[in-house]
Amino acid sequence: MKFWKLAVVAAALSASALAGAQEIKARFGTSLPDSHPQTLGARKFAELVEAKTKGHIKITVYSAGQLGSDMQMQAALQGGTQEFTAPSTATLAGLVKEFGVIGLPFSFASEQEADAVLDGPFGKKLLAQLPARGLVGLAFWENGFRNVTNSKRPIVRAEDIAGLKVRTMQNNLYIDMFGGLGANAVPMAVTELFTALESRAVDAQENPYTVVYAQKFYDVQKYLSTTGHAYDALTLLVSRKFWDRLSAPDQKAVQDAALEATAYERQTSRELNARLRGELTRLGMQINDVSPQERARMREKLQPVIAKYTAGAGEEAAKEFFAAIEQARKH
């Protein structure tokens, strides 16, 4: 009888230990609000991971910079104190220089071109360099084509950018890009940007429609000009320390969830960007289209910057990047 009781207790303890092992908790931090595709994608990803692991892995999403800026969260993933985030590829260029080519001005002509390049061999080669830096890249998400907003004037010609104080990401390419157009580039985290625009510490910023809307920049910026000067991709990242602790089936479930969440996040981004132009106009922004000729002039002015960052990312990576774009255009 005593033996049977001990067996029951042992089984109960074993079941309890198993139950404890069954739930893995993780945190996914985003820098943008709940209405932005970055956070919508993070929530979809968390939901898919939980479903695919039958509740074994539970991911809590912290939006709008609750866990810090993109740079801070990236460092937290490397240190193993946070599990997931999805920063701009521009943020990663500081760790792996080859990521810098993605943001080169006026490179992609469409979102479909970007998908073909980033989901293909070129994108996979970039992701393969992350584990050595303490990160694992699961997929490329989308922020979209970036446009300039400001409180001073519509940007019709390249010269209209000159003299504006433009907030940029904390990334040398973007600082030099706007410097090359005659602006005074002011790097800062997006979480600090609304206040800087409101106080007129900066005149302008550049982001896709989705960010302008989610961050309510329409309250403090009158003009939006469709410069489309760069395509901004996000990278869905997981801490390598966390990843290496997962079993092979869990890793597969997380990777499968990432691919499904990618399709959802990109579709959401594109649908929102298409719809938000009208919404931002309704909210009082004056939107003007920058002509293809002026965009070509901007690109011409930026040739020294393009040359500098092509060399900085490595001639081989740049050559592969532009070859991948050419290949995408043929299909």
Report the pLDDT value the prediction gives residue 6, as an integer from 0 to 100. 47
Give the bridge partners for 167, in sequence order.
Answer: 186, 205
Strand 204-207 with 286-289, pairing: unpaired
Write the class of the CATH domain 14-330.
alpha beta
Strands (E), 17-56: 24-29
Report the pLDDT value the prediction gives residue 21, as an integer from 0 to 100. 61
Secondary structure (3-state) at 33: coil
pLDDT averages per 10-residue partition of the chain, 331 residues = 47 42 92 97 98 97 96 97 97 94 96 98 98 98 97 98 96 95 97 97 98 97 98 98 98 98 98 96 98 97 96 94 97 84
Domain extents for the chain? 14-330
Max CA separation in the chain (angstroms): 90
Secondary structure (3-state) at 200: coil
C-alpha span between 284 and 287 (Å, rounded): 9
Query: Count of H helices and E strands in the chain?
Result: 14, 9
pTM: 0.92
Contact of 105 with 299, CB cutoff 8 Å: yes
- Within 128-247, residue ranges assigned H as helices are 172-180, 193-198, 209-214, 240-245
Report the pLDDT value the prediction gives residue 20, as an integer from 0 to 100. 46
Report the pLDDT value the prediction gives residue 22, as an integer from 0 to 100. 81
Strands (E), the chain: 24-29, 57-62, 84-85, 135-150, 165-168, 184-187, 204-207, 223-239, 286-289
Length of the chain as a residue count: 331
C-alpha span between 300 and 302 (Å, rounded): 5
Report the pLDDT value the prediction gives residue 5, as an integer from 0 to 100. 52
Going by C-alpha positions, the residue among 245, 218, 262 that lies closest to residue 48 is: 262
The identity of residue 174, as a single letter, is Y
